[in-house]
Amino acid sequence: MKVTEHIANGNGKTQFSFEILPPLKGQNIQSIFDSIDPLMEFNPPFIDVTYHREEYVYKEMENGLLQKQVVRKRPGTVGICAAIQNKYNVDAIPHILCGGFTKEDTENFLIDLDFLGIDNVMALRGDAVKTETYFTPDKEGHSYANGLVKQIDALNKGEYLDEEIQNQAKTDFCIGVAGYPEKHIEAPNMDSDIHFLKKKLKNGAAYIVTQMFFDNKKYFDFVEKCRSQGITTPIIPGLKPISTKKQLNMIPHRFNTELPEELIKEVLKCDDNGQIREVGIEWCVQQSKELIEAKVPFLHYYSMGKSDNIRAIAKQLF
Ligand code: FAD
């Protein structure tokens, strides 16, 4: 079922959903099931599965020269989605990127998803690979998510890259895109970011999931700004509980997200990560309660492979 249908079925009640990462190469799928199992009692209508593009690593050879190698540390997005739908009978939403994909790769990826009975995709540009400063698309790929959305929407109309393909079967994907309550790091200002967000929606996206935020005011202001600029699609808030001291530095830098002074102060008072985890859970519960009161359609939690704190939060809310 499509995310937009799940929202309609919620009849105004906030529902629970979450995002997982494929395991590191070498682990088996049981680690994924172990992180999903404790969250199933909260009835998530869908689970997102992130996509991780290739990275470049340099390995020293016997002669001392360095050899560039391409590695993908977390493959398996499509397989995990199929396994989730099969095992739990809930919708799995694969993330799909511009980065590392030609348009032909994208088309074939979408055909796989369609054959597997996957109804939703989250369309993203992806970040620059670690060894590059700026995002560089594949020569035959999309530079921005709005191009990717357009391609998915075209396939929904039966328009393939090769116009001469016979039996142009239509796919029927519900397309989600990213939104940034504190603006995307590369955007010169919020108006510019919303301008391009609107382009993704005009090209066929049906809902928005936000980057994580720790101050609900940022989300409410963002929604208001979007609405004032004519955006009517659902805007699903993305939340993540803090669980380590290291995240105080990592989260603002990596996700362009400001941490409220009060949260920082509470985390700094803690003696160990066990205490920080409790602070993170409490903060996230308070954020969630206010968002539920504001009647958001879903609360979407970034589990990042750890479900114990998400479970502790969901237990108090759903
Ligand atoms: P875009 O919408 O393409 O925007 C990127 C930047 O370009 C923005 O600053 C925008 O304002 C600007 N822009 C857009 N169009 C144009 C244009 N035509 N001309 C000039 N500027 C333009 N990353 C992963 O690698 N894997 C994942 O699974 C993943 N999941 C995510 C899930 C969510 C909910 C979110 C919020 C992010 C996720 N990301 C993921 C991170 C995402 O890939 C990065 O934030 C990336 O830098 C931007 O992706 P986007 O789709 O928002 O890009």
pLDDT in tens, 61-78: 899 998 888 888 999 999
pLDDT on residue 167: 84
Query: Once rounded to an integer, what is the mean pLDDT over residues 273-296?
Result: 97
- Of 117-121, 129-133, 177-181, 217-221, which gets the smallest average pLDDT? 129-133
pLDDT in tens, 24-64: 999 999 999 999 999 999 999 999 999 999 888 888 889 99
Q: Which domain holds residue 311?
A: 3-315
Q: Residue 115: which pLDDT band, with cuts at 50, 70 and 90? A: very high
State how many domains the chain has: 1
SS (H, E, C) 220-239: HHHHHHHHHCCCCCCEEEEE
pTM over 0.75: yes
pLDDT on residue 163: 87
Q: Is 57 in the pocket of ligand 1 (CB under 6 A)?
A: no
Q: Is 97 in the pocket of ligand 1 (CB under 6 A)?
A: yes
Q: Is 216 in the pocket of ligand 1 (CB under 6 A)?
A: no
Rounded CA gap, 75 and 207, in Å?
Answer: 26
In degrees and rounded to multiples of 5, residue 52 shows phi and psi of -120, 115
Q: Residue 132: which pLDDT band, with cuts at 50, 70 and 90? A: confident
Please determine, for residue 153, whether its predicted confidence score (pLDDT) is greater than 90.
yes
Q: Is 150 in the pocket of ligand 1 (CB under 6 A)?
A: no
CATH of the domain at 223: 3.20.20.220
Q: Atom 42 of ligand 1 has which residue's CA nearest to it?
A: 126
